[in-house]
Amino acid sequence: MTKDIKISIRNLFKIFGPDPDVALEYVRRGMNKADLLEQQNHVLGLRDINVDMRDGEITVIMGLSGSGKSTLIRHLNRLIEPTAGEIRIDDEDVLSYSEEQLRKLRRERMSMVFQKFALLPHKTVLENAGMAKAIRGYTTSDFEADARKWLARVGLEGNENQYPHQLSGGMQQRVGIARALVSDAPIMLMDEAFSALDPLIRSDMQDLLLELQEELHKTIVFITHDLDEALKLADHLVILKDGEVVQQGDPQDILLNPGDPYIVDFISDINRARVLRVRSVMQPGTDSGEDFAGDISERDNLETVLERSGGDTDLAFRVVRDGRQVGSLHMKDLTKALVPTAAATESRQRV
C-alpha cells in the first residue's frame, strides 16, 4: 500500500482580512481563531495544514460548517490563494505556476464537482457534460461519443438533449459527475457533492462513486460534513475543526483510536457495526489451531459477521483474503470493538 503521493499540502495557512501577513505572525505565535477575530479583525481560515493525498485513493476531508474544508479544497486548484505554505501536485509547486500553467492544470489534470451542481443552464446535458472538453477547444462532435458514454455510465442515457432545469437534483449531480469524468482529469475534487441530495439518492450516488472508483482509480478529494458518508468513502480521512487538522489517517483507525474529545463526540452516534470492518479488529496471523465457525472476508463489516454468528459470542471466524487465511476473529473482540469509545475510556478509568 505504498502508493505515490499525488497531492501534498505543507504548512498551509489561510487568513482572510485586509492585512493577512501581519495577522499570520500572530497566528504563528499561537493566537487562536476567536482572539484573532476580536483583536486583529482577521478570520483564520486554515492553520498549519499538512496532508498527503495518495494516487488512486479517496481522501475525505470532514468537518462541520466553518471548519475550513471548502476553503481547503479551493486551495488545490488555487480558486483561493493561500497566505503561506506549499501545495505540490505530482511533485510540482502549484503556487509557482504562471496563469497559463494554472489554467492547464485546471483544464487537464483536475476536475471539480460542486455542491450546487453549477451546471450551465443554457446548455444541454450533453454540452454540460462536455464542458471541460469544450473549454479546451474541442467541438461538440469531438466529445459527443465520450460524453454519451459517461452520461450512460452515470445513468443518464436518453437525457442528453434535455436542459439542466428539466432534471431532478440527483440527476443534475450525475451530470456534474459526468462532466468531471469526461474531462479525463486524474484528480477529482468533490465539494460537498452529495450534501444537497436527499438521503436515499445520496446513498445511491455514494455507491456510484465507489463503483466508478473501482475501475478508474482517480485521486479523489471529497469534502463532506457527514461522518457516515466520510467513513463510507474514505481511504484516508482528515478531520478539520476551526481550520486545523484534528486527526487524520485510516478511518477505521480513527474510529477505534480517536485522538481528541471532539472526535469522540463526533463518532458517538455512529453505527459502529456497520462501519468497522473485520480487518481492523481481527488478530493477524495464520493461526489454525482453533475451531473456526466459518470463513469471512477481511472487508466484511462487523454487522455481517454478527448476523452470521447469530449472536453467539463464543464463536471464532477465519479471516481470508483471496482464499488465504490472513487472521482470525473472536466474537469477544468484535463485541469489545462495538463498545462506544466514550464508554470504553470511562470504564478504563474506573479500573
Interface with other proteins (CB under 8 A): 77, 79, 103-108, 110-112, 114-122, 131-132, 135-136, 163-165, 183, 189
Nearer to other proteins, 104 or 336 (CB): 104
CB of 26 to other proteins, least distance (A): 30
Nearer to other proteins, 114 or 262 (CB): 114
Q: Which three cell numbers stand for residue 191?
A: 465539494
CB of 132 to other proteins, least distance (A): 5
Nearer to other proteins, 159 or 183 (CB): 183
CB of 218 to other proteins, least distance (A): 16
CB of 124 to other proteins, least distance (A): 10
Judged on CB neighbours under 10 Å (0-12, 13-18, 19+), 220 is buried
CB of 280 to other proteins, least distance (A): 35
Residue 288: which of 251, 257, 325, 263 has the closest Cα? 325
How many angstroms separate the CA atoms of 318 and 11, rounded?
44
Nearer to other proteins, 16 or 163 (CB): 163
Nearer to other proteins, 189 or 302 (CB): 189
Nearer to other proteins, 103 or 321 (CB): 103
CB of 303 to other proteins, least distance (A): 38
- Kindly provide the residue ranges of all beta strands, DSSP E only, lying in the chain, ordered along the sequence: 5-16, 43-54, 58-62, 84-89, 92-93, 110-113, 187-191, 219-224, 236-241, 244-249, 283-284, 295-297, 316-321, 324-330
Q: Residue 67 in contact with residue 242, Cβ under 8 Å?
A: yes
Give the CA diameter of the chain: 71
How many angstroms separate the CA atoms of 248 and 61, rounded?
9
